[in-house]
Each structure stands twice: as structure tokens, then as C-alpha cells.
Amino acid sequence: MPVKKSAETKSAVQKNTDSSIFQRLFNGVSLSDTLFLAAIPIVAYLIVYFYELGYFSIFDIPIEFASFDLARIFLAILYLLVFIFFIYWINDILQGIINSQPEPIKRRLQSNVLSFILILVYLFFTVHDWKIWLEILLGFLLLISLQFWIPLFTQRDKKGYIAKLSAVDEINDQNKNKREKTPSIIDRLSVLIGPRILLFIIILAGTLYVSYLIGRTNAVTQSNFFVLNTSPERAVLWTFNDHIIASTFDRNSKQLNPGFIILDLGKDSNLEYRAEQIGPLTMKSLASIPSVTPTPTILVPSNSITPSP
């Protein structure tokens, strides 16, 4: 009997040890966190799709040619994680500054943190001109400043700047309580699907929209293209699997001719590529080309294209 008891005790100790190891490994990981991690690949697919949708819209490429190869998916996941880290990092810095302020000032700053972060993300990914950065940020800061200097004129009977801000906050709270009797659409959706899911949907929609804008911006600002030694020569617009989407172009006007071809890269391809700074390229309008029929989309084996000498 003592031997049996000892074995049971050892088994119980082993079980508790295994349980404690499991708890240490997965401490703080909830079901919502697991679902969040599981959603990352799906979000990555959507990011790639919307990026290509924006890129293709500039060059009139049908979205049916979108590709989801592992390299693009991996990069999308990497950018998504960097994007999330960037938001948390900026938010921590701003919250550290805001929390040290008096309550009325803290309240006004916190109400604008999310908008400020979204503007930074938009500028970072889509705007490459520092003058536009300066104009947008100055305009945003000007709008925020209205919350700080207007009380100086509307609350003249209050002594002290903080007291003036607090008086405005009390009026706003009273008006807010009156409005809460009739819930807004956001409030109803929050009750219906939950605030966290609603927030996730809003962030996802914003992320996909930014991905679309990034795709358009990269297409509009891209200067370097691979040029094929075909006759006439063609610029490579997109690659997927073993195929290339290419179009003829005008070097002088930096315009792409309407239509494109799809080259099937064979093992014995005689095509040569050379990177050239021929852009940014824009699509030539059909209205500017009299009596011209757009070139149809053609699937052509690469070894059937005659390279130029």
C-alpha cells in the first residue's frame, strides 16, 4: 500500500508540475488572443488583395490577375505586425505624456490620440512629400487647438484656465447625457456584436483602405521598371507565378499604351530584363488616341516573343 500511495503521490506531483508548466507557457493567453492570432493570416490575404486592387487600378489590370504567393503573404504579415507594433509604440509614448497633464487637458488630448495616429499612418504609407506632411499636421494641430483656446472666450466668468476647461466639460457632459437617451448607430452595433468586435471591424476596414491607398501610391510614384528586350520594348508591370504582365510604353511622354500581354516564362526563354528609370508611368487615355483599338490581353509563351537585337 505505501508503494501504491507513493506512486499516486508522484503522479499527482507530475500532473501539477505539467499543469504549472502549461500555465507558465500560456499565461495571459485568452481565447480572444488566440482568435486574434488565427485572424492574422486571413487579414494578410486581405491586405495583399486590397494592395493589388489599388496597384492594378492605376494600370487598368483586371483584379482577376491578383496573386497570393507565399512571399507576398509573408511580407503582408510582417508589415501587419510592424503596423500593430508602431501603433502601440506611438500610443504608449503619447499616453505617457498625456497622463501627466491635468484632467481637463488630459481629456482633450486623449480624444484626439486615435485620429492623430491614423493620420501619421496615412502620411507614412502614402505621402512622400514633407511639405504635404507639414500642411496636414499643422491643419490637424490647429483644429485640436480650438478645444483649448475657445473656452478662454466662452467662460470668462471662471477664474483660471483649468476652471474654464472644466466648465466646458460639464456642459458637454450634460449635453451628452441628453443625447444618450437616443442611442446612435455605433451604440446599437456595439450592443449587437460587442464593442471589441466592432473596434476590430473598424480597424480592419481602415487597414484595408490604407493598403489600397499604398497600392495606388506605389503605382503612381514608381520610377524603376524592368524593361524587356522585345520589339517593341515593354515595361514589366506585374509578376505572378511564372507569368509577367507587360505593356508597351512611350519613353518621351512616359505613358503606357492601352492593353497588355501576359508572357509565360519558359525554361528556354530568350528574354532579357534590364532595370531602367522610365517612370513614373501613366496610362495613355483612349480618347487621346484617334482610331485605335485597344490591344487585347494575350497569353503568349515567352519563347515566341522575338527579342530585339
Phi, psi of 238 (to 5 degrees): -160, 150
The answer as to whether 25 is a domain residue is no
Q: How many domains does the chain have?
A: 2
Integer Rg of the chain from CA: 29
Task: Tell me: do 125 and 227 sit in the same domain.
Answer: no
Judging by DSSP bridges, how do beta strands 255-256 and 282-283 pair with one another? parallel
Instruction: Give CA separation, 116 vs 106, 110, 123, 209, in Å.
Output: 15, 10, 11, 17
The answer as to whether 90 is a domain residue is yes
The answer as to whether 9 is a domain residue is no
Task: Tell me: do 105 and 143 sit in the same domain.
Answer: yes
User: For 60-117, how does the pLDDT look when each residue is reduced to its tens digit (9 = 90+)?
Assistant: 888 888 887 777 777 777 877 777 787 788 888 888 888 888 888 888 888 888 888 8
Stated as kind and residue range, the H or E segment containing 28 is none
pTM (two decimals):
0.64
Task: Tell me: do 142 and 266 sit in the same domain.
Answer: no
Instruction: Give CA separation, 144 vs 40, 104, 108, 147, in Å.
Output: 34, 14, 8, 6
Task: Tell me: do 250 and 101 sit in the same domain.
Answer: no
Task: Tell me: do 213 and 255 sit in the same domain.
Answer: no
End-of-domain residue from the set 154, 184, 218: 218
The answer as to whether 17 is a domain residue is no
Cβ-based burial of 139 (10 A; exposed 0-12, middle 13-18, buried ≥19): exposed
The answer as to whether 243 is a domain residue is yes
- Bridge-partner residues for 226, per DSSP? 275
What's the whole-number average pLDDT of the chain? 76
Q: Which domain holds residue 98?
A: 31-218
End-of-domain residue from the set 178, 193, 218: 218
Q: What SS3 class is residue 27? A: coil
Nearest to 168 by CA among 80, 237, 110, 103: 103
Q: Specify the DSSP class assigned to residue 128.
A: -
Kindly provide the residue ranges of all beta strands, DSSP E only, lying in the chain, ordered along the sequence.
Answer: 224-228, 234-240, 243-250, 255-256, 261-264, 273-277, 282-283, 298-301
Task: Tell me: do 204 and 242 sit in the same domain.
Answer: no
Q: Which of 109-118, 128-137, 173-182, 224-233 is the least confident region?
A: 173-182
Task: Tell me: do 289 and 158 sit in the same domain.
Answer: no
**How far is the C-alpha of 10 from the C-alpha of 170, rounded, in Å?**
64
**How far is the C-alpha of 162 from the C-alpha of 146, rounded, in Å?**
15
User: What is the distance, to the nearest Å, from the Cα of residue 200 to the centroid of all Cα atoms in its chain?
Assistant: 14
User: For 203-239, how does the pLDDT look when each residue is reduced to its tens digit (9 = 90+)?
Assistant: 888 888 888 888 888 888 888 899 988 888 889 998 8
End-of-domain residue from the set 189, 218, 247: 218
Task: Tell me: do 79 and 209 sit in the same domain.
Answer: yes
Is the peptide bond between 232 and the residue preceding it cis, with omega within 30 degrees of 0? yes
